[in-house]
Chains A and B, each alone.
Chain A
Amino acid sequence: DGGITQSPKYLFRKEGQNVTLSCEQNLNHDAMYWYRQDPGQGLRLIYYSQIVNDFQKGDIAEGYSVSREKKESFPLTVTSAQKNPTAFYLCASSSPPGGKGYGYTFGSGTRLTVV
């Protein structure tokens, strides 16, 4: 079955460490996204990529970095510059807008906690 795989499901990080969250899709989607969710809040866009080797900052990109070397993969690195990284992170991919099957598919998320 096609879908998005995020790993790990839970991640603990010590202050000052960088961590990388994995996101892999086998839907052949060009576009991929990273969202952050804090308790009681909606999802905020961190970074997105519409094509391999290209990505753009979202609304809250500071303290994060991404790469898009392969169509299937869009890893997110939470750097030590991110002051409050404890949150739930969701990865998504989408087909091009306008098509009949246009929509977004989400992974099951990674819950990151700073200890």
Chain B
Amino acid sequence: AQKVTQAQTEISVVEKEDVTLDCVYETRDTTYYLFWYKQPPSGELVFLIRRNSFDEQNEISGRYSWNFQKSTSSFNFTITASQVVDSAVYFCALSGLTDKLIFGTGTRLQVFP
């Protein structure tokens, strides 16, 4: 069965600190996709990144970076120099060839000024 674990329920940081959100996944599929979404207080899900299982290259997008390690089944997300606008709930998700997206329980990030 597929599973996504986000062990950090809530993280609080002060602005300009770096913060890493952890994501560990389980799947028996050899082809799968990993996602990160941001959910601000308004509730909509904002897509951040998609990674497929054959691409372990780390990615950087502005202050955001992602570290994908198949050896540890992890897909961690780092925000550098955090800002108050980064405050939200962040979800890691996994889909295989069955095309169902399975979510972790989310990590609530609070960035204080």
Residues on B facing A (Cβ under 8 Å): 4, 6, 9, 31, 33, 35, 37, 42-45, 47, 50, 91, 95-97, 99-106
Residues of chain A within 8 A of B95, CB atoms compared: 97, 104
Q: In the complex, A45 Cα to B94 Cα: how many Å?
A: 13
Partner pick for B43 among A45, A58, A111, CB 8 A cutoff: A111
Q: Which range holds the interface residue count of chain A?
A: 20 to 34
Residues of chain B within 8 A of A106, CB atoms compared: 37, 44-45
Interface of A is mostly: strand
Residues of chain B within 8 A of A108, CB atoms compared: 42-44
Contact call B44/A31, Cβ cutoff below 8 A? no
Q: In the complex, A96 Cα to B95 Cα: how many Å?
A: 11
Residues on A facing B (Cβ under 8 Å): 31, 33, 35, 40-45, 48, 50, 58, 88, 90, 92, 94, 96-98, 102-109, 111
Residues of chain A within 8 A of B106, CB atoms compared: 41-42
User: Do A104 and B35 contact each other (CB < 8 Å), given the known contacts A43-B91, A97-B97, A109-B44?
Assistant: yes
Residues of chain A within 8 A of B97, CB atoms compared: 97
What are 10 sample pairs from A and B whose C-beta atoms fall under 8 A apart? Answer: A35-B103, A40-B9, A41-B105, A43-B91, A45-B102, A50-B99, A96-B99, A103-B35, A104-B35, A105-B47
